[in-house]
Chains A and B, each alone.
Chain A
Amino acid sequence: DGGITQSPKYLFRKEGQNVTLSCEQNLNHDAMYWYRQDPGQGLRLIYYSQIVNDFQKGDIAEGYSVSREKKESFPLTVTSAQKNPTAFYLCASTKTVNTGELFFGEGSRLTVL
């Protein structure tokens, strides 16, 4: 079955460490996104990518980095520069570049100890 796979589902990090969240899709979607969700908050866009080797900053990109070396993969690195990284991270993709009909992965919950 097609879908979006995020890993790990739960991750604990010590302060000062970088962590990378994986996102893989087999839907043949062009555009991919990373959102962050905090309790009681809406989703906020971190980074997005329309095509391979191209990505754009969203509203809260500081302290994060991404790569898009393959159409299927869009990993997110949470760096030590991100001051408050504890959150629920959601990867999404869209069928075409003109739709907001996002398909989401199951999410990765990051906790900083």
Chain B
Amino acid sequence: QKEVEQNSGPLSVPEGAIASLNCTYSDRGSQSFFWYRQYSGKSPELIMSIYSNGDKEDGRFTAQLNKASQYVSLLIRDSQPSDSATYLCAVGDRGSTLGRLYFGRGTQLTVWP
């Protein structure tokens, strides 16, 4: 069983601050990494995917990947109350052709005005 670990939180930041969410994974051969956002009582939605070492930016979101350290993070700049949700880290199964993912337990983020 492949492990995906996230800091349990909850994480609370003021509006306008940078929120930093972290994730580590056990399978060194993993090649694909994803961040999903899940509002309370709703289904997850994909917000970022990253496949290569380094940073990937999309609006206020930046995903960072370091395969040597088996570490992936998500930064949310200028955090807004609407960013309050649980963020799920997911790692693709090495060698799988089916898009099978392993999910962490999620980090609950609260952005207060």
Contact = CB atoms under 8 A, between A and B. Distances in A.
Interface stretch (A11-19, A35-43, A66-74): A35-43
A42 B105 contact: yes
Interface residues of A, number: 28
A102 B42 CA distance: 15
Nearest to B1: A59
Given A42-B105, A59-B1, A100-B34, A31 B44 contact: no
Interface in B66-113: 88, 90, 92, 97-106
A24 B88 CA distance: 24
Main secondary structure of the interface of A (DSSP, over half): loop
Contacts of B105: 40-42
B88 A99 contact: no
B43 A45 contact: no
B45 interface: yes
10 contacts: A42-B4, A42-B106, A43-B90, A45-B100, A96-B99, A99-B32, A100-B49, A100-B92, A101-B46, A104-B43
Interface of B: 1, 4, 32, 34, 36, 42-46, 49, 88, 90, 92, 97-106
Interface of A: 31, 33, 35, 40-45, 48, 50, 56, 58-59, 90, 94, 96-107
